[in-house]
Amino acid sequence: MRKKSTIFVAAVTLVMLLAGCGAAENRQAEAGKPGQELVYATVKDINDMNPHLYPGSMPAQGMVYESLVENTADGIQPLLAESWEISPDGTVYTFHLRQGVTFHDGEAFNAEAVKQNIDAVQHNSAKHTWIRLSSKIKGTKVTGEHTFKLILSEPYYPALLELSMTRPYVFLSPKDFQNGETKDGVKGYHGTGPYRLTEHLTDQSAVFEANAKYWNGTPFISKITVKVLPTGETTFLALQKGEVNFVFTDDRGTDSIDTEAMDRLAESGAYQVVRSEPMNTKMIVANSGKADSPVQDKAVREAVWHAIDRDTIASQIFSGKETPAGTLFSSNVNYADIGLKPRAYDLQKAERLLEEAGWTRSGEETRMKEGKPLTMTLFYDAASLSQKTEAELIQNTVKGIGMKLELLGEDSSSIASRRAAGDYDLLFNQTWGLAYDPQSTVSAFTSETAYYHAIKGISRAEQLKDEIEEVMVTTDEEKRKALYADILTTVHEEAIFIPLTNGNLTVVAPGNLQGIGFKQTQFELPFERMSFK
């Protein structure tokens, strides 16, 4: 009898405990119900929203800040500058600014604010070497309430393209500056964009509300909440429960939800899955400058290139949602249609290349050359599902040709710092997208914060550097074409950037959301154009 009652008490307690959990979850779902709002999930916090530095989340910065001009499919279009003139020698840009624009804190947007912002960026130019314009700006000048002159040291053709980027040449209210600077932190995050940041809980959430005074009309969606959900499974559950209702490929190219789960969401009717056109090239960067590593050897890099079965990666790992890439830039990218010869998936060729370069196999599993084994480390973003699978597939294939790959999954920011420090053999990366290709990606070849180390080890490194320097300043279109062809051929020949697939942006959105589109950059989304049916 006593035993029975004990069991009864235990059972009741257990039921109550479970019921308690359920109730708590329900409340949470109720509170997070978005209605006519968007709640998007992100793997990482929006971080420091200072637009003149780089830790912040780009989609979030894209909502708050705006640039002078916008890069669209039809070329450069006005944004905060209504019109502009370029002096005949190509060194002076005169911008006529849009009138009646105010920052979120009520400050007027005028030529003075533009000058202060650009000066603040220039005072921290070491951080901005990847954007070549930062080394070309000689002066900034206010010539009227709404006229601003940008003076360059020499003509630089991608100037407008680089001014259109999400950062750093975007505008923050001068009131937020600290001692007239932005490099050591700012007091507030007031931009001119369609949304303003109203609340930020680090590593939890951030709230953006529509800017009622936005110069281009108040956006339809009144509130956008960003929720930090580090893993794909929680994001998927949150989508099902309605805690979040919007997910997209983040600025590091990470899709946290697997394609099948996304398709299932779309089938339910509550969600739609929208994919952009191919925007970038996902690739493996080989660090030719890494001392004492087999990756210095061109034959090894070529062998890796030949040993990757891109068709299988595209059809199996990406379920046919991405296409195999044969070159660093696909041929629809400006200046990139130069007929480079793709290296096919050919294991025999790979083995022959290794053999010819002196990497021989005598019985052991791993090839050796001068007593050194053919072992390299491939770094991947631990948050990305596809990268690990790709890495394991490649690891398995190259094992067959006597190459040993060690895999190491790391946080995306740790991968970025490895790239900057040159502390890697191979790592996963992607080109920067239509708006940035080829000029910014190419110019990043020589930037210390990007691919400087990867390029360093090739025989034509110095020459390549000069060519890149020249291609950015030449005004002769034919010469520019020839130089780009030369640069791209060199890095292709040297097999520095081993392409995998052409990546795109994926958006999972509520079924009744319309106006989902993409910008020319993979780093932000035009939220202001979206609305509910």
Partner 1 sequence: MTIHRKMWSDKLTAISLTVIAMVAFLGICAPWFAPHSPEQVHMELRYASPSWQYLLGNDHLGRCVLSRLIYGIRPSVLWVLAALLVSLSFGGILGILAGYFRGKTDQMIMRVCDIMLSFPGYVMSLAVVGILGPGIQNILIAFVIMKWAWFARVIRTSVMQFAEADYVRFAKAIGVGNAVIIWKHILPVALPDIAVISSSAFGTMILQISGLSFLGLGIQAPHAEWGMMLNEARGVMFSRPELMLAPGLAIVIVVSAVNFCSDALQAALDPKLQKNTRKPLRGQGLFPAKPKGEEVA
Question: By CB under 8 A, which span of 45-53, 345-353, 386-394, 492-500 interacts with partner 1?
Answer: 386-394
Q: Are 300 and 357 in contact (CB under 8 A)?
A: yes
**Going by C-beta distance under 8 Å and a sequence separation of 6 or more, which residues neighbour residue 35?**
none
Residue among 135, 140, 389, 514 that touches partner 1 (CB under 8 A): 389
* Cβ 398 to partner 1 shortest distance, Å: 11
Measured distance CA(136)–CA(446) in Å, rounded: 16
Do 152 and 186 contact (CB within 8 A), yes or no? Answer: no
For residues 439 to 478, the per-residue mask of contacts with partner 1, x marking binding by CB under 8 A and - elsewhere, is ----------------------------------------
Query: For residues 408 and 473, which CB has a smaller minimum distance to partner 1 in the complex?
Result: 408
Minimum CB–partner distance for residue 409 and partner 1 (Å): 5
Helix (H, G, I), strand (E, B) or coil at 262: helix
- Piece in contact with partner 1 (CB under 8 A), picked from 82-90, 226-234, 467-475, 492-500: 226-234
3-state SS, 148-198, equals: EEEEECCCCCCHHHHHCCCCCCECCCHHHCECCECCCCCCCCCCCCCEEEE
Exposed, middle or buried: residue 32 (CB in 10 Å: 0-12, 13-18, 19+)? middle
Between the two ends of the chain, the Cα-to-Cα distance in Å is: 63
In the complex, what is the shortest distance from the CB of residue 118 to partner 1, in angstroms, rounded to a whole number?
A: 42
Type of residue at 372: K
Q: Residue 428, interface with partner 1 (CB under 8 A)?
A: no
Q: Select from 391, 426, 458, 491 the one that contacts partner 1 (CB under 8 A).
A: 391
Strands (DSSP E) found in 293-445: 323-324, 368-369, 372-373, 375-381, 404-410, 426-430
Q: Which stretch binds partner 1 (CB under 8 A): 63-71, 191-199, 292-300, 381-389?
A: 381-389
Q: Using CB under 8 A, which residues numbered 298 to 337 contact partner 1? A: 309, 312, 316-317
Distance CA 284, CA 350 (A): 17
Minimum distance, C-beta of residue 133 to partner 1, in the bound complex (Å): 40
Q: Does 235 bind partner 1 (CB under 8 A)?
A: no
Q: Which of 174, 232, 294, 457 binds partner 1 (CB under 8 A)?
A: 232
- To partner 1, the closest distance from the beta carbon of 204 in angstroms equals 22
Toward partner 1, which CB reaches closer, 333 or 391? Answer: 391
- Rounded CA-CA distance 170/109 in Å is 12
Tell me which residue of 471, 5, 39 sits closest to 221, measured CA to CA.
39
Q: Using an 8 Å Cβ cutoff, are 526 and 517 in contact?
A: yes
Q: Which is nearer to partner 1, 406 or 476 (CB)?
A: 406
Instruction: Return the residue of 355, 392, 469, 493 that touches partner 1, per CB under 8 A.
Output: 392
Site residues for partner 1, window 159-178 (CB under 8 A)? none
Q: Which listed range, 80-88, 150-158, 385-393, 443-451, lies at the site for partner 1 (CB under 8 A)?
A: 385-393
Torsion over CA: 458, 461, 464, 469 (sign): positive
Site map (CB under 8 A) of partner 1, residues 397-416, x = contact: x-x------xxxx-------
Q: Which is nearer to partner 1, 368 or 393 (CB)?
A: 393
By beta-carbon proximity to partner 1, the closer residue of 332 and 396 is 396
**Residue 74 binds partner 1 (CB under 8 A):** no
Q: How far is the CB of 236 from partner 1 (least distance, A)?
A: 6
Among 261, 266, 273, 461, binds partner 1 (CB under 8 A): 261
Options 207, 393, 461, 485; binder of partner 1; rule CB under 8 A = 393
Select the span of 97-105, 186-194, 335-343, 393-401 touching partner 1 (CB under 8 A): 393-401
C-alpha angle with apex 433: 428 to 439, nearest 5 degrees? 100
- Of 26-34, 52-60, 142-150, 230-238, the window that binds partner 1 (rule: CB under 8 A) is 230-238
What are the residues whose beta carbons fall under 8 Å from the beta carbon of 216, sequence distance 6 or more? Answer: 194, 528
CB of 264 to partner 1, least distance (A): 7
Q: Which is nearer to partner 1, 279 or 314 (CB)?
A: 314
Measure the CA–CA gap between 104 and 123, rounded to whole angstroms: 24
- Listing DSSP states for 435-494 in one string gives TTTTHHHHHHTT-TTTTHHHHHTSTTHHHHHHHHHHHHH---HHHHHHHHHHHHHHHHHH
Residue 500 phi, psi dihedral angles, 5° rounding: -115, -70
* Dihedral, 229, 230, 231, 234 alpha carbons, nearest 10: -20
> Nearer Cβ to partner 1, position 228 or 382?
382
What's the min distance (Å) between Cβ of 388 and partner 1? 8
466: nearest Cα among 451, 483, 448: 483
Instruction: Mention every residue, 6+ apart, whose C-beta is less than 8 A from residue 147.
Output: 94, 95, 96, 97, 111
Query: Closest approach of Cβ 407 to partner 1, in Å?
Result: 5
Closest separation in Å from C-beta 514 to partner 1: 27
Q: Tell me which residues touch partner 1 (CB under 8 A).
A: 231-233, 236, 258, 260-261, 264, 309, 312, 316-317, 382, 385, 388-389, 391-393, 395-397, 399, 406-409
